[in-house]
Structure 1
Amino acid sequence: MASEPQGGLTEYIQHHLHHNVVSLGDAPFMKIHVDSILVAFLLGAVFCLWFWLMARKATSGVPSKGQAFVELIVEFVDTQVKDTFHGDRRTVTPLALSIFMWVTFLNAMDLLPLDAPSWTVKTAAGVETAHHTFFRWVPTADINTTVGLALVVFFIVLGHGIKAKGGLGFGKELMTAPFHAHNPVVVAILVPFNFLLNVVEYLSKPVSLAMRLFGNMYGGELVFMLIAGLFAGWISFLPGVIFNTAWAIFHILIILLQAFIFMMLTIVYIATAREHH
């Protein structure tokens, strides 16, 4: 439950939209969102540690509940990769699994209480100005995080395309597809159009990945902020709990769906990049 908003609902929401920023310069790209990086790194470490421990304890006999759950996730992801990508899956399946689990973990931070950071600082350190402690839980509600994830996928897709077709083959495809011609003069005329269309297609992929994930998680976070701000205080405690619980249950579907979509689009982009036109 949120604490009583100071200065009204608008100020309460604006406060929770601030990141914990460390500035290394005046340029916008020199401002580092420490909260997003810290939470993303910790959740990535938790995912790796969890699956590593399960792998170490794995047995060929009757699996434990933890092992069965992990195996269920791995088989689910591998099935999606096998149905979409018809090639060597030894690197694609681990990538898809990492994306799905990591993005799920990042999205799931939206289910934690909004005022937990300020409450923690106030309780642990006795700081009365903890209301001004900026720390956002949800890395995927930060455009920098989603753009970073999308750019990594973008370069991986380019790498797969170059590996499958070779540097010259990849460059040739950029110039000669999707409009093909046999006449050298026509080919030369079509080169600028083919190149422009391919560049737009490639650049639209990271933009689509980043904006879709960011938009859904940012919107979900705003709804939690509105509910928390509207139903703050002890008088409206019960209605606040009911509305927060209802939205949280629905939001779980969004959390899993967005992670699944991000994973599936990555697989589709890799499969498309390896196809010869």
Structure 2
Amino acid sequence: MATGTPSPTEYINHHLHNLQVGEGFWTLKIDTVFFSVLLAAILIWMGRAIGKRLQQDTPSGLQNWVEAIVEFVDGQVSDVFPNRDKLVGPLALTIFMWVFLMNFMDLIPVDLLPWVATLAGMEYLKVVPTTELDTTFALALTVFALIIIYNLRSKGLVGYLKMFLTHPFGPYLFPVNVVMTAIEEVAKPVSLALRLFGNLFAGELLFLLIALLSLGGFGAAWIPQIALGTLWAIFHILVITLQAFIFMLLTAVYLGMASQDLEHH
């Protein structure tokens, strides 16, 4: 390996390191916040721009594409949510599109934006927000807060507490019920966050391993690197779409369960 060329461990660690300030609990990951907010702003801008140009008689190709996504999400929400709700449909659409855009950043060549950041004087840059537990847990905990709100709205405070005492084994085993129901409720945001993080983090690592071909024994290795990277990128399109869909669908399912009264829980 040539002098000055990073080792595989150094290369991977560099790409997995955030542009950040602070230490410990007070660490602010600037790149994660920046790309999350940037993609949210792009999503808002796209929605506003398309909304201003809606045409009933001669819709554009982009409008047809957006309408297909909206109808698809609406159909999924209608299947799992018992009653029409003003929040759940827009929330599901926002989650699907925002998570998809954050996941899509994983398809940008792994060295491109970090190289641009180096030219701008930034040593580190991590561009995929959903490869950070901070992002996935923030999304999941927001959904968890809505689950609690919907439970309180449908069951009331007494009914919600009663669920912990009587579900799933009846009132006579209330100590077991409390533990089981608490685990069940906590598992919802934990599974949402870890599933999304794990799949995207694994995908990013595989892109980095493919990029390592040019650092290892293959020399330039541009032919196998491009071939493998292209094949994985094509497959990864399915992964990032599926993960956005699962997060959106489970959100609707959990809120649908929370909106049921105690008798139907």
What TM-score does the superposition give when structure 2 sets the normalisation length?
0.92
Per-residue CA deviation, residues 88-114 of structure 1 (Å, 9 max, x unaligned), is 232111000000000000000001121
Aligned residue pairs total 258
Residues 137 and 45 of structure 1, relative CA distance in 2, 3 Å threshold: same
Q: Give, as a single letter, the amino acid of the residue that structure 1 aligns with 2:182.
A: V
CA RMSD for the aligned pairs? Answer: 1.8
| Residue 244 (structure 1) aligns with | 229
Deviation at 1:195, TM superposition (A): 1.4
Residues 198 and 122 of structure 1, relative CA distance in 2, 3 Å threshold: closer
CA contact (8 A) 2:117 2:124 kept: no
Do structure 1's residue 55 and structure 2's residue 38 form an aligned pair?
no
| Residue 79 (structure 2) aligns with | 83
| Residue 206 (structure 1) aligns with | 189
| Residue 167 (structure 1) aligns with | 157
CA contact (8 A) 2:117 2:125 kept: no
Per-residue CA deviation, residues 191-242 of structure 1 (Å, 9 max, x unaligned), is 2221111110010001100110000000000000000012359731122111
Ranges in structure 2 where 5+ consecutive residues have no aligned partner? none
Q: Give, as a single letter, the amino acid of the residue that structure 2 aligns with 1:257.
A: L
| Residue 146 (structure 1) aligns with | 136
- SS of the equivalent of 1:114 reads coil
| Residue 244 (structure 2) aligns with | 259
| Residue 114 (structure 1) aligns with | 110
Q: Which moved more, 1:146-155 or 1:168-177?
A: 168-177
Q: Which moved more, 1:105-114 or 1:161-170?
A: 161-170
Q: Give, as a single letter, the amino acid of the residue that structure 1 aligns with 2:237.
A: I
4+ runs of 1 displaced by more than 3 Å? none
Q: Give, as a single letter, the amino acid of the residue that structure 2 aligns with 1:180.
A: G
- SS of the equivalent of 1:38 reads helix
CA contact (8 A) 2:141 2:189 kept: yes
Ranges in structure 1 where 5+ consecutive residues have no aligned partner? none
- SS of the equivalent of 1:250 reads helix
CA contact (8 A) 1:81 1:89 kept: no
Q: Give, as a single letter, the amino acid of the residue that structure 1 aligns with 2:202.
A: G
- SS of the equivalent of 2:114 reads helix
| Of 35, 39, 43, the match for 1:39 | 35
CA contact (8 A) 1:22 1:33 kept: yes
Q: Give, as a single letter, the amino acid of the residue that structure 2 aligns with 1:30.
A: W
| Residue 211 (structure 2) aligns with | 228
Per-residue CA deviation, residues 231-272 of structure 1 (Å, 9 max, x unaligned), is 359731122111110110010000000000111111111111
Do structure 1's residue 177 and structure 2's residue 167 form an aligned pair?
yes
Query: Whole-Å Cα distance in 1 between the matches of residues 158 and 29 of structure 2?
Result: 40
Deviation at 1:118, TM superposition (A): 3.4
Per-residue CA deviation, residues 125-171 of structure 1 (Å, 9 max, x unaligned), is 4x5xx6xx111111101111111111011111111111111122111
What TM-score does the superposition give when structure 1 sets the normalisation length?
0.88
Query: Whole-Å Cα distance in 2 between the matches of residues 35 and 119 of structure 1?
Result: 14
Deviation at 1:122, TM superposition (A): 4.6
CA contact (8 A) 1:9 1:230 kept: no
Query: Whole-Å Cα distance in 1 between the matches of residues 159 and 136 of structure 2?
Result: 31
CA contact (8 A) 1:174 1:195 kept: yes
Q: Give, as a single letter, the amino acid of the residue that structure 2 aligns with 1:143.
A: L
- SS of the equivalent of 1:196 reads helix
| Residue 10 (structure 1) aligns with | 9
Do structure 1's residue 274 and structure 2's residue 259 form an aligned pair?
yes
